Amino acid sequence: MKVLYVASEVAPFIKTGGLGDVAGSLPKALAAKGCEVAVVCPLYSKIGREWRDKMYYIKSLYVQLAWRNQYCGIFVYEDAGVKYYFLDNEYYFARNQVYGEYDDAERFAFFSRAVLEMLPEIGFRPDVINCNDWQSALVPVYYCLNYNYRPWYEGIKTVFTIHNIQFQGQYGREILSYVLGIDDYHFDNGFMQQDGDVNMMKAAIVCADRVTTVSSTYAGEIQTPFYGFHLDPVLRWNQGKVSGIVNGIDVDAYNPETDPHLFKNYSVNTLDDKKENRKQLLAMCGLQADDETPVIGMVGRLTSQKGLDLIQCVLNDILEQDVRLIVLGTGDYAYEQMFINAKWQYPDKISTNIMFSNDLANKIYAGCDLFLMPSLFEPCGLAQMIAMRYGTLPLVRETGGLKDTVIPYNQFTGEGTGFSFSNYNAHEMLHVIKSACFLFRHNQEAWRAMQIAGMTTDFSWDHSAQVYLDLYQSAING
């Protein structure tokens, strides 16, 4: 089977969040199962020299986008049986940031159109195209409108994966024909429209052959008004083609036995060496703590999705306990300031790191005791799985993938891989934090059993990659 995986970010070349991790690891797992996989991503100027030097230029073409005729260079890099194609256009992709530009709609419409145009040029005719999130949502849309009747393209199946339904690619009506090159008629008939705006994700849900999301709980949640961000009716109408497949993580990249970022490597058999990471992480962050003081880590985008409102409500109560908190993230100004202010107030208890650093992230996963992730909603979440792989117990809210991947501690049987709470309520979270800290101080045996349970859980792509393959096959079979 031939699969084209389309993503706006792919680790290790370029990553801003979980999509990058998935696009970096799932294709490799598909290839390992015998599938012929190509991945395609924009060639951002932010992609480092170390990767660019390894790519080869193949050819260039011109891509028609409404009235524009734009250059597109094609570069390729091959690794672990996967071909990575990078689409070059400096006007669109030589920017300081990956997302958040004034012309994102045009940038990613160009990318989506270029993906379809490049296929005959590189001689790769996929059986299935799997696109991801709004940035490549126009691939199935353009395919349905402009390509599926052409002999070369006929019969290709499209799968659309939702990693976060909050970001839908919503724009004013005026961009439809002028920028996207799609007839205005598709606004009036509702296909491209949601709540009076152009909505790329909605259109992809309607026209893709299959729609997946990244955990089965989230697949159910987004069909309800609270989690659906106004797309729940469309998802319910298309229920028959919607399913959830939980993400895996790259267990080779996130491996405490070999991770070069750690102060000292360790495994489930040498778990005591984790303490060295704890000690050095604390020193690096300018904090001190004895062995009984729980060190709590947080890594992620500082946005309300990640439960920052709950933290805001009880941050003082948390820091009044005998704990240490190490925060790494960037995001909304108000939350960044909240942690910066907390550092002034509790200089010995919190370390605030407002930045993006893979190195520090891995040091936190390895060096902390507890990992806090109380998300309002969480399509899958990778951070909690990475934490468990490093023997750090996650404390999560029971939503989306957090619910599907963390087994809450059962004080009667000792089972569990972490801690959880159900309602979006700050004091419910605080109560569970206090219970977890109590357990850490007074029952190291139970704690260690959970660490081992988490570290030995299979978070690899092995199972989920097979589920994707079965899904692709079912799409091909019609």
Instruction: Name the site residues for ligand ADP (rule: CB under 6 A).
Output: 17-18, 21, 299-301, 328-330, 356-358, 361, 380-383
Residue closer to ligand ADP (CB basis): 17 or 416:
17
Residue closer to ligand ADP (CB basis): 175 or 325:
325
Residue closer to ligand ADP (CB basis): 39 or 299:
299
Handedness of CA 422, 301, 320, 449 (dihedral sign): positive
Residue closer to ligand ADP (CB basis): 22 or 128:
22
Q: What's the one-letter identity of residue 402?
A: L
Torsional class of 369: left (φ above 0), alpha (ψ -120 to 50), beta (otherwise)? alpha
Cβ 314 to ligand ADP shortest distance, Å: 22
Other residues' Cβ atoms within 10 Å of the Cβ of residue 285: 22
Could you tell me the two tokens for 122?
């590189």
Distances (CA, A) of 94 to 12, 69, 82, 99, 115: 18, 18, 25, 12, 18
Which ranges of 97-215 would DSSP assign to H, the alpha helix?
Answer: 104-122, 138-142, 175-178, 185-188, 200-207
Residue closer to ligand ADP (CB basis): 96 or 477:
96
> CA dihedral in degrees (406, 410, 416, 421; nearest 10)?
20
Cβ 388 to ligand ADP shortest distance, Å: 12
Cβ 310 to ligand ADP shortest distance, Å: 16
Asked if 448 and 231 count as a contact pair (C-beta separation under 8 A), the reply is: no
Could you tell me the two tokens for 10?
């792919």
| Cα maximum dimension of the chain | 69
Cβ 400 to ligand ADP shortest distance, Å: 10
Cβ 96 to ligand ADP shortest distance, Å: 17
Q: Which residue is nearest to ligand ADP (CB)?
A: 18
Cβ 257 to ligand ADP shortest distance, Å: 18
Task: Identify the H or E element spanning 404.
Answer: helix 400-405
Q: How far apart are CA 346 and CA 342, in angstroms?
A: 6
Cβ 376 to ligand ADP shortest distance, Å: 11
The label of the residue with tokens 């797309």 reads 231
Cβ 192 to ligand ADP shortest distance, Å: 26
Q: How far apart are CA 335 and CA 354, in angstroms?
A: 10
DSSP state of 144: I
Cβ 290 to ligand ADP shortest distance, Å: 28
SS3 213: strand
Cβ 437 to ligand ADP shortest distance, Å: 23
Residue closer to ligand ADP (CB basis): 179 or 383:
383
Q: How far apart are CA 223 and CA 172, in angstroms?
A: 25
- Environment class of 174 (CB within 10 Å of its CB; exposed 0-12, middle 13-18, buried 19+): exposed
Strand partners, 161: 132, 212
Residue closer to ligand ADP (CB basis): 19 or 119:
19
The label of the residue with tokens 């839908």 reads 168
The label of the residue with tokens 């083609």 reads 241
Residue closer to ligand ADP (CB basis): 137 or 361:
361
Cβ 443 to ligand ADP shortest distance, Å: 28
Q: How far apart are CA 370 and CA 419, in angstroms?
A: 9
Residue closer to ligand ADP (CB basis): 214 or 450:
214
Instruction: For 182, list phi and psi in degrees, rounded to 5.
Output: -110, 135
